[in-house]
Structure 1
Amino acid sequence: MTQEHIILPAEWHPQSGVQLTWPHEHTDWAYMLDEVEDCFINIAREIVRYEPLLIVTPYPEKVKQLLIDKMDVSRITFFCCLTNDTWARDHGAITVLKNGEAYIYDFAFNGWGLKFPAHFDNLITSRAHESSLFNARYENRLNFILEGGSIESDGEGTLLTTSECLLSPNRNGEWNRKQIEEYLMKAFGLKQILWLDYGYLAGDDTDSHIDTLARLAPGNTILYVRCTDIKDEHYDALLAMEKQLKNFRTLEDKPYRLLPLPMPKAICEDNERLPATYANFLVLNGAVLYPTYGQPDNDRAAGKILETAFPGYDITGIPCTALIKQHGSLHCVTMQYPQHVLKNDYNEQNYTCGTCTTVQ
């Protein structure tokens, strides 16, 4: 029997499109729906400049009318499906390549360790598969809790993650670290897993997702959040994270090129600090979208660092203060799919999971 060669593509691998799961009045965004929709519109407008967009929503016609005068909606597929929330990074499908063929992994999503309802969001990937949205084989992996925001791949066999999240007792509590590592190594064809044991953001609901703290980039590069204010509550933890990153080694036993991202100045709402981070960027075909927070010096500095990490890419900042009010940012609301995975005949078919008329 031929041994499977499995690759978990890096985010900068060529893409067929990106998923957004749109906010609506039955989500936690209800109290600020106009504000967050403006943010989603800006993200959607930039995505369709570079590649197709899949929008998951119970209200496809309403969203289409919202966008039709603002961008090229012929580049958008509207998939009608019930949703609890908008965090596509964590309820979206994770794609691997097995001997060059695409497989959609459908992991279980339980609302970041049973913190929030996820009964609709946990069905989106299977509904999309049943509606033939993917040019990929479907693999049910609902025996394991895994969110896309908790893992980073370089596409060459290295996975970057955090022990705080993957070892959370409310995710796969019956599994120990060795068992989880063995599972991930086999599922993703990995050669090594780099576990970050330090680092957090105040206000973060994800138990320290890696995409809020440190990100892989081409050329054995890691971008990470650095805190230089000794009075900041994050200083000690992020300093410990930086020290651990300096000890990580590539598969060739070389140190990584480390590029520090600035720590945004504290943003608070109702006396609660919000988890603003520049690490939550999205890589597209030829572009990087990154969150900005109305802090011109920090926003520009983050953009310059991304230019260094992704030479030749268009680097575009998108105001995301709205998103952090629900404790996430730009990368959290998106999920990319490698080339050939999303079908290119979206607007010639009526994609619906058949449950959109259900009252939430």
Structure 2
Amino acid sequence: MAGIIFPAEWYPQSAVQITWPHRDTDWAEYLEEVTTCYVTLSKEILKREKLLVVCNDVGEVESHFSEEEQKGLICTEIESNDTWARDHGGISLFIDGQPVISDFGFNGWGLKFAANHDNLITGKLFDRAIFQPDVAYRNSLNFILEGGSVESDGKGTILATAECLMAPNRNQLMTQDEIGDYLKQSLGAERILWLYHGYLAGDDTDSHVDTLARFCDEHTIAYVKCDDYDDEHYESLKVMERELQSFVAYDGRPYRLIGLPMAEAAYCDGERLPATYANFLIINNAVLVPFYGTEKDQIAKKQLQKAFPLRQIVGIDCRPLIRQHGSLHCVTMQFPIGFL
């Protein structure tokens, strides 16, 4: 839709939002380990931009950072069910040039988990005047949409998976065409590239696109590539690869596709966890990529350096995060310049 821009993740950023783990979340059993992961991630972000932290205890969060680092911290105490800021965070847009945060509904990935507190976080951030004065709030709570379910190239193209956006208990009264039309109207998209294949075992999100395939620039997509015939994902990811090969960019040119290795299988209590290198975060001058403690970490880093030759590729040990079935991108939400 004319007048609405859904900026790509590589646009210059003012801040990243995270929601800090606490004892009333599913992290309670290994809170120390996941806190270490959050601190490492946060320090890398703070080297390059501000960090908005939704938390239970500001003092506890600030205790992990130096006085210099705290200058970039924006901490606020707001109740939360969990810590997946990508999905309960607001989506940044520019509407007729004005910065706008669209607050979509979040219902725990189709009523799988409680989200009563998480669904209110964005509205409470506005109540507390956290954002710049000219940033407008747009109430989109009548539509369920998680940030991890849509990728934007900043040129009017959205990449999404049909399995997620058509999943029961999200917007089940709408057809795929109706959902596509809504995304065009609300996010300013001119076209939707639908993926009908690709999944990760252990994923609670119904195949969020940010676990499978990601825009790196207007002409480049990095995606999970599986070459192991014995891996359960092989067939589905091969079909997804063919789908990506059939797509063209906004200007009609074929995409440059960069394959990321399928992460080594990781398990917890006998259940395979959704480890993926596609769950990276683009920030100012860097890309933060989840590492899982195997040789494939360096392969993924090398591949992403091809996609982002001018950015530093920084690995973050995300083994604690996948225990709750998410990874690095899932716990973050970026804001373009001018929002904070």
CA contact (8 A) 2:105 2:119 kept: yes
Bigger Cα displacement from structure 2, 246-255 vs 16-25: 246-255
Q: Distance in 1 between matches of 2:298 and 2:290?
A: 11
Q: CA deviation at 1:265?
A: 1.1
Q: Supply the AA of the counterpart residue of 2:167.
A: S
Give percent identity, aligned residues only: 52
Question: Counterpart in 2 of 1:292?
Answer: 291
CA contact (8 A) 1:151 1:160 kept: yes
Q: Distance in 1 between matches of 2:105 and 2:20?
A: 20
Q: Supply the AA of the counterpart residue of 1:62.
A: E
Q: Distance in 2 between matches of 1:206 and 1:284?
A: 24
Q: CA deviation at 1:70?
A: 8.9
Label 1:113 to 1:276 Cα distance change in 2 as closer, same or farther (>3 A): same
Structure 1 unmatched runs, 5+ = 343-360
CA contact (8 A) 1:5 1:189 kept: yes
Q: Does 1:209 align with 2:208?
A: yes
CA contact (8 A) 2:154 2:218 kept: no
Deviation sequence 1:57-78 (CA, Å, 0-9, x none): 121112112x134971111011
Deviation sequence 1:80-101 (CA, Å, 0-9, x none): 1001000000000101101211
Q: Distance in 2 between matches of 1:63 and 1:253?
A: 47
Q: CA deviation at 1:30?
A: 0.2
Pairing partner for 2:130 from 129, 133, 140: 133
Q: Supply the AA of the counterpart residue of 2:224.
A: V
Q: Distance in 2 between matches of 1:203 and 1:323?
A: 13
Question: Counterpart in 2 of 1:348?
Answer: none
Question: Counterpart in 1 of 2:83?
Answer: 86
Pairing partner for 2:93 from 83, 96, 103: 96
Q: Distance in 1 between matches of 2:249 and 2:328?
A: 28
Pairing partner for 2:18 from 20, 32, 37: 20
| Equivalences for residues 39-54 of structure 1 within 5 A | 39-54=37-52
Q: Distance in 1 between matches of 2:324 and 2:193?
A: 29
Question: Counterpart in 1 of 2:305?
Answer: 307
Q: Supply the AA of the counterpart residue of 1:204.
A: D
Q: What secondary structure is seen at the aligned counterpart in 2 of 1:260?
A: strand
Label 1:318 to 1:71 Cα distance change in 2 as closer, same or farther (>3 A): farther
Q: Distance in 1 between matches of 2:152 and 2:306?
A: 19
Q: Distance in 1 between matches of 2:31 and 2:153?
A: 35
C-alpha root-mean-square deviation of aligned residues, in Å? 1.1
| Equivalences for residues 1-360 of structure 1 within 5 A | 4-65=2-63, 67-69=64-66, 72-135=69-132, 136-295=135-294, 297-342=295-340
Q: CA deviation at 1:252?
A: 2.2
Equivalent pairs, count: 338
Q: Distance in 1 between matches of 2:251 and 2:339?
A: 31
Q: Distance in 2 between matches of 1:340 and 1:70?
A: 24
Q: Supply the AA of the counterpart residue of 2:99.
A: A
Runs ≥4 in structure 1, deviation > 4 angstroms?
Answer: none
Q: CA deviation at 1:209?
A: 0.2
Q: Distance in 2 between matches of 1:83 and 1:258?
A: 37
Label 1:288 to 1:59 Cα distance change in 2 as closer, same or farther (>3 A): same
CA contact (8 A) 2:16 2:45 kept: yes
Q: Distance in 2 between matches of 1:271 and 1:71?
A: 43
Q: CA deviation at 1:217?
A: 1.0
Q: CA deviation at 1:219?
A: 4.2
Q: Supply the AA of the counterpart residue of 1:340.
A: G
Q: Distance in 2 between matches of 1:254 and 1:12?
A: 20
Q: Supply the AA of the counterpart residue of 1:47.
A: I
CA contact (8 A) 1:45 1:70 kept: no
Q: Supply the AA of the counterpart residue of 1:28.
A: D
Q: CA deviation at 1:281?
A: 0.2
Q: Distance in 1 between matches of 2:65 and 2:237?
A: 43
Q: Supply the AA of the counterpart residue of 1:282.
A: L
Q: CA deviation at 1:126?
A: 0.1
Q: Distance in 2 between matches of 1:266 and 1:70?
A: 40
Structure 2 unmatched runs, 5+ = none
Q: Distance in 1 between matches of 2:143 and 2:56?
A: 27
Deviation sequence 1:146-176 (CA, Å, 0-9, x none): 0000000000000000000000121000111
Q: Supply the AA of the counterpart residue of 1:330.
A: L
Q: CA deviation at 1:215?
A: 0.1
Q: Distance in 1 between matches of 2:301 and 2:193?
A: 26
Q: TM-score w.r.t. structure 2 length?
A: 0.98
Bigger Cα displacement from structure 2, 76-85 vs 248-257: 248-257
